[in-house]
Amino acid sequence: MSKTNILVIRLVSLIIAVGFIGVPVAKAVPPATLDNLKIVASPSYQNSTNENTLFDNASLIIKTILELLGFIFVVLMIYAGILWMTAGGNEKQVEKAKNIIKQALTGLIIVVLAYAITYFIFTRLPGGGLGTGPA
């Protein structure tokens, strides 16, 4: 097995593992319970308390990572295009540009699949996602 194949397998495994780390294991607290807690803790409850849920925070982190990876993909494609256009008949440089494009597309496919898996899992969680999962 080549080093590239081993690296791709490790990256896919890492992406899948990281996707499962963010999956909460506890059931979401119903809104009525949160309201009751606010009433009990009203003297010490601050209006500036951040009420973002774990799902909101995980979604923000995933969105930021995907934006960063999308930007890296665009930069790699531009770099490979410039390499190819300035090759001037140099076959080594053309092959290098082709390899960069292939690897960038492979990375993009991996990222999109990781996003799809994460989205699938989060939407099926009780009380999570878009509210389409079972209660």
The domain containing residue 19 runs over which residues? 3-25+53-124
The pLDDT value recorded for residue 3 is: 73
CA distance 38 to 27: 19
Q: Within 13 Å and on the Cβ side, how many CA atoms surround 79?
A: 13
In the chain, how many domains are there? Answer: 1
Report d(CA 52, CA 17) in Å as an integer.
Answer: 24
Inside any domain, residue 40: no
For the segment 10-56, what is each residue's pLDDT rounded down to a tens digit? 766 666 665 655 544 455 556 666 677 666 666 665 555 566 677 77
- Full-model pTM: 0.52
Q: What is the per-residue pLDDT for 65?
A: 87
Provide the mean pLDDT of the chain: 75
* Assigned domain for 41 exists: no
**Residue indicated by tokens 């969105």:** 63
Q: Which amino acid appears at position 98 of this protein?
A: K
Phi/psi at 114 (nearest 5 deg)? -65, -40
Assess if residue 33 is contained within a domain. no
Q: How confident is the model at residue 32, as a pLDDT?
A: 67
